[in-house]
Amino acid sequence: TSVSAGYLADEAATLQLGSQLASALLGGLQLQLDGDLGAGKTTFTRGLLQGLGYSGRVKSPTYTLVESYPLPALTLHHFDLYRFNDPEEWYDAGFADYFADDTVCVIEWPDKAAGVLPAPDLVLKLSVDGDGRSYRLHAHSETGHLCLKHFMT
Ligand code: ADP
Ligand code: MG
């Protein structure tokens, strides 16, 4: 199967989803985070980093556009493209160089670089649902399928 879905009752559940996915991550993977402002994209990324063993502060990259976390196994680049006015800014900022075999790129607001970003391996859609959030995780590539398979077992 290529989809995993569920309900996240509170912030702790969003963090847990992130830390659960962390152990299934593979180098070279691009994960796009879809969802409105406040859907939990940054919270999820915080969980991902916790799961990778990072215990420092995780800032939202809203103003810096990217925050990078060099970890023993891989470097995680956390992008927030909300402030892009034009998809071409992806190239201007040199972000294409952030994709490598030993990095994982997590991207909030990927639509802001539509047509410029490479196709994602995984897409996580988060949406407000009652007091919590619902999520769907889709695999879009061979690497994405491998990751999702590992995540679900
Ligand atoms: P985004 O990055 O998508 O704008 P954030 O991760 O900053 O969203 O989260 C916005 C708010 O939603 C935060 O206050 C966070 O604690 C809260 N939140 C995250 N996940 C959940 C959840 N499953 N249920 C309720 N609140 C949540
Ligand atoms: Mg955010």
Instruction: Please give the chain's pLDDT, 153 residues, in tens.
Output: 689 999 999 999 999 999 999 999 999 999 999 999 999 999 999 999 999 999 999 999 999 999 999 999 899 999 999 999 999 999 999 999 999 999 999 999 999 999 999 999 999 999 999 999 999 999 999 999 999 999 998
Ligand 1 contacts CB of residue 45 (under 6 A): no
Closest ligand to the CA of 35: 1
> Which CATH number covers residue 57?
3.40.50.300
Ligand 1 contacts CB of residue 28 (under 6 A): no
Domain that holds residue 69: 3-152
Q: Please state the pTM of the whole predicted model.
A: 0.97
**Which value does ipTM take for this structure?**
0.99
Grouping H, G, I as helix, E, B as strand and the rest as coil, residue 2 is coil
Concatenate the DSSP letters of all residues of 20-51 into one string. HHHTT--TT-EEEEE--TTSSHHHHHHHHHHH
* Overall number of domains in the chain: 1
